[in-house]
Structure 1
Amino acid sequence: MAPLTAGVHHVGLTVPDLTSALAFFTDVLGYTKVGGYDSYPSAFISDGATMITLWQADAGAAPHNRRTAAGLHHLSLRVAGGDGALNALADKLQAAAGVSVEFGPEELKGMGVRHMMVQAAGVRLEFIAA
């Protein structure tokens, strides 16, 4: 049977602070805001290939725990430019406010690529050299 879908249109992330999440994606990663709603606080952002919707969580919402809650474990983003670009991004992320580096660029076991994992904007993000 042929797949009934054709890739990801967008990924929606609920974030604890929409303003700081939007700043992280636009100021640190270079995404562009392409829309959003005031009535259900959100921002739609894109890097030209992937669209992400950021949704404001209600006050007091518990942070997602990747080990004890079903749902998004992490979002993995491709970094164009290979290892050099990944290393440059790692330096930028380590210097960025509100970013916690879980592990720096390292070999992704058995995959032939390098990756890193961070906590930023209230979500767990992986960056993979492409």
Structure 2
Amino acid sequence: MTGRLTCGVHHVGLTVPDLDEARAFFCDVLGFDVVGGAPDYPAVFVSDGDALITLWRAEDPSTARAFDRRANIGLHHLSLAVADEDALAAAWRKVSTHPGVTVDVAPQPTRPGSTTRHFLVFIPGGIRLEFATARK
């Protein structure tokens, strides 16, 4: 036994202003599948086969405040792994041109000298999402 009490991330829950728009982004753009939901909440659960993301609609989207990653405590961003440079380039082409996406950081190394490359965007609804080549 290592003393660790956990063995990875079970799922990530994101509150979004428009559930249909968020589901469409994850499923239609990224290729995730809907794997469940809670219509009374309302929520949709999506997965790429490895990551499970729960998308929860804000109770009142018209009064919900956007998260400020520099001022608030909470999820700074969600980072999704891609297999390699080719997959990162394909994700960049598809994601960066999607309506409602704002580019935060164009493809580049995560830090000087790193072999890991990434890019960051704000997806429709304002969630900050990173795509990074898988760690080796």
TM-score band w.r.t. shorter chain = over 0.9
Equivalent position to 1:128, from 114, 121, 132? 132
Q: What does residue 64 of structure 1 align with? A: 67
Q: For the Cα contact (< 8 Å) 2:96–2:121, is it kept in 1? A: no
> Pairwise mapping of residues 50-129 of structure 1 onto structure 2 (< 5 A)?
50-59=51-60, 60-80=63-83, 82-109=84-111, 110-121=113-124, 122-129=126-133
Distance in 1, matches of 2:81 and 2:28, equals 18
* Structure 2 segments unaligned to the other structure (5+ residues): none
Q: What does residue 5 of structure 2 align with? A: 4
Runs of 4+ in 1 over 4 A off after TM superposition: none
Distance in 2, matches of 1:95 and 1:112, equals 25
**TM-score under structure 1 normalisation?**
0.95
State the superposition RMSD in angstroms.
1.1
Alpha-carbon deviation of 1:76?
A: 0.4
**TM-score under structure 2 normalisation?**
0.91
The 3-state SS of whatever aligns with 1:23 is helix
Identity %: 51
Q: For the Cα contact (< 8 Å) 2:32–2:47, is it kept in 1? A: yes
Amino acid at match of 1:40: Y
* Structure 1 segments unaligned to the other structure (5+ residues): none
Distance in 1, matches of 2:39 and 2:82, equals 31
Deviations 1:32-84 (Å, cap 9, x if unpaired)? 0000111100000000001000000122110111011100000000011x111
Deviations 1:76-114 (Å, cap 9, x if unpaired)? 00011x111101111111221111111111011153210
Distance in 2, matches of 1:94 and 1:50, equals 21
